[in-house]
Amino acid sequence: MIEQLEAVYKDAESALDAAAGGEALRTWEQHYLGKKGLIIELVRSVGMLPKEDRAAFGKRANEIKNALEADYAAREAVIAQAELTQALQEGAIDVTLPARERARGGLHPATLTLREFYRIWADLGFQVFHSRDVEDDDTNFTLLNIPPHHPARDMQDTFYTTTPNVILRTHTSPGQIHAMRALGENGTQPIRVILPGMCYRFEQITARSEVQFHQVEGLCIGRHITMTDLKGTIAEFARRMFGENAAVRFRASYFPFTEPSMEVDVECFLCGGQGCRVCKHSGWLEIAGSGMVHPVVLQNGGYDPTEWSGFAFGMGPERVTMLKHGIEDIRYFWGNDLRFLEQF
Ligand code: PHE
């Protein structure tokens, strides 16, 4: 039995030398040193030896067990070091590889549409005039012919601030007043501007309405501006924006700051006017509110309405973007989901 013990010892040592990794090492430990391992099994069978041989056997078995445990620990350290070195090498950065291309950012879909608007309106002679986002109640409403308590105020739900009379503009139309006063030189100069910017409405957020959205206001003031100018200008914009054959139609409407007022539809460019889901089978898509600037508004801007006239319109670039790309939910615009934004 002592030979058997020595043989197991020898086998164990060579098997340990051969163990190439952590996995093999653990298998080895179980096989030789584990609770049901070969060494323990031999020790347990010590009773089969004659009494006088038992002590020597036990001592030798212990020596061997200790030796194997020490060798195991040493081997384990060597293997761990080797595995670490290998992992480091595999993870090493090859500095000679070409650099990975960095993903380029893109413009926001709303910005893309705004820029298209700017380009077209610039070609039609309209300069950009920037007006403030934070307005006073007067400019946003009263000077636009919407007196306090007028029911038309309910057309747009307002974000009020803690400062009395200071609000977030609900539309870009107050910019008309600012533009007339800033550029009109006391009602003596003609004006042709667009007023782009963010508007804010205290509304339930749904797929169709957001609390913030862009508008592009247009304002044209002159001595002989007529509704024909308005219609021709908008029709030309539609051709440039939606295609050479884009037809427009004007529907009578109501805004307190224009008289007469009209809503502008463009023939549905998705179905060619045949009727589809997007145009709700009407063949037409609404793209703007518009009208002739109300005499009261002209006066508030410093112009004499008996000598001067003008037209104004307001468009929603997000809406145009949605129509163009078949986007069904306006919440995507400010949701900052890259899966949406990266498509533009
Ligand atoms: N301000 C109007 C709105 O927000 C749009 C509009 C602008 C209508 C200019 C007529 C003239 O709905």
Dist. CA 241 → ligand 1 center (Å): 19
Of 19-33, 276-290, 300-314, give the range with the top mean pLDDT: 300-314
Judge whether residue 284 has pLDDT over 90.
yes
Dist. CA 143 → ligand 1 center (Å): 14
The string of pLDDT tens digits covering residues 195-209 is 999 999 998 999 988
Q: What is the mean pLDDT of residues 116-120?
A: 98
Least confident of 17-26, 164-173, 176-185: 17-26
Judge whether residue 57 has pLDDT over 90.
no
Contacts of 182 by beta carbon, 8 Å cutoff, 6+ apart: 129
Dist. CA 265 → ligand 1 center (Å): 14
User: Yes or no: is domain 109-341 CATH 3.40.50.1820?
Assistant: no
Which residue is closest in CA terms to ligand 1's atom 10? 290
**Residues lining ligand 1, Cβ inside 6 A:** 171, 173, 217, 255, 258, 289-291, 312-314
More confident residue, 196 or 276: 196
Q: What is the pLDDT of residue 61?
A: 87
Judge whether residue 286 has pLDDT over 80.
yes
For residues 154 and 274, what is the distance between their CA atoms, to the nearest angstrom? 35
Which residue is closest in CA terms to ligand 1's atom 12? 289
Dist. CA 335 → ligand 1 center (Å): 26
For residues 188 and 152, what is the distance between their CA atoms, to the nearest angstrom? 31
Confidence of residue 55 (pLDDT cuts 50, 70, 90): confident
**Which is the closest atom of ligand 1 to the Cα of 215?**
4
Judge whether residue 42 has pLDDT over 90.
no
More confident residue, 287 or 103: 287
More confident residue, 99 or 193: 193
Q: What is the pLDDT of residue 168?
A: 96
Q: What is the pLDDT of residue 292?
A: 98
Confidence of residue 56 (pLDDT cuts 50, 70, 90): confident
H/E/C letters for each residue in the chain?
A: CHHHHHHHHHHHHHHHHHCCCHHHHHHHHHHHHCCCCHHHHHHHHHHHCCHHHHHHHHHHHHHHHHHHHHHHHHHHHHHHHHHHHHHHHHHCCCCCCCCCCCCCCCCCHHHHHHHHHHHHHHHCCCEECCCCCEEEHHHHCHHHCCCCCCHHHHHCCCCECCCCCEEECCCCCHHHHHHHHHHCCCCCCCEEEEEEEEEECCCCCCCCCCCEEEEEEEEEEECCCCHHHHHHHHHHHHHHHHCCCCCEEEEEEEECCEEEEEEEEEECCCCCCCCCCCCCCCCEEEEEEEEEECHHHHHHCCCCCCCCEEEEEEECHHHHHHHHHCCCCCCHHHHCCHHHHCCC
Q: What is the pLDDT of residue 277?
A: 85
Confidence of residue 339 (pLDDT cuts 50, 70, 90): very high
Q: What is the mean pLDDT of the chain?
A: 92
Q: What is the mean pLDDT of residues 134-154?
A: 90
Which residue is closest in CA terms to ligand 1's atom 9? 313
Which residue is closest in CA terms to ligand 1's atom 7? 314
Q: In percent, how much of the chain has pLDDT > 70?
A: 99
Q: What is the pLDDT of residue 99?
A: 86
Q: What is the mean pLDDT of residues 309-315?
A: 98
Judge whether residue 162 has pLDDT over 90.
yes
Which residue is closest in CA terms to ligand 1's atom 4? 171
Burial of 148 (0-12, 13-18, 19+ CB in 10 A): exposed
Calculate the CA dihedral of residues 124, 130, 132, 133 and round it to 10 degrees. 60
Dist. CA 330 → ligand 1 center (Å): 19
Ligand 1 pocket mutation, candidates 173, 199, 201, criterion most atoms within 8 A of CB: 173
Which residue is closest in CA terms to ligand 1's atom 3? 171
Q: What is the mean pLDDT of residues 235-263?
A: 95
Dist. CA 254 → ligand 1 center (Å): 10
- What is the b/e burial string over 284-310, where b = at least 16 CB atoms within 10 angstroms of the residue's CB? bbbbbbbbbbbbebbbbbbbebeebbb
Dist. CA 314 → ligand 1 center (Å): 5
Q: What is the pLDDT of residue 40?
A: 85
Q: What is the pLDDT of residue 305?
A: 98
The CA-atom distances, in angstroms, between 230 and each of 9, 21, 227 are 103, 83, 5
Least confident of 117-131, 172-186, 328-342: 328-342
Closest by alpha carbon to 289, among 196, 206, 215, 193?
215
Judge whether residue 181 has pLDDT over 80.
yes
More confident residue, 288 or 34: 288
Q: What is the pLDDT of residue 205?
A: 93
Q: What is the pLDDT of residue 211?
A: 95
Confidence of residue 244 (pLDDT cuts 50, 70, 90): very high
Dist. CA 75 → ligand 1 center (Å): 82
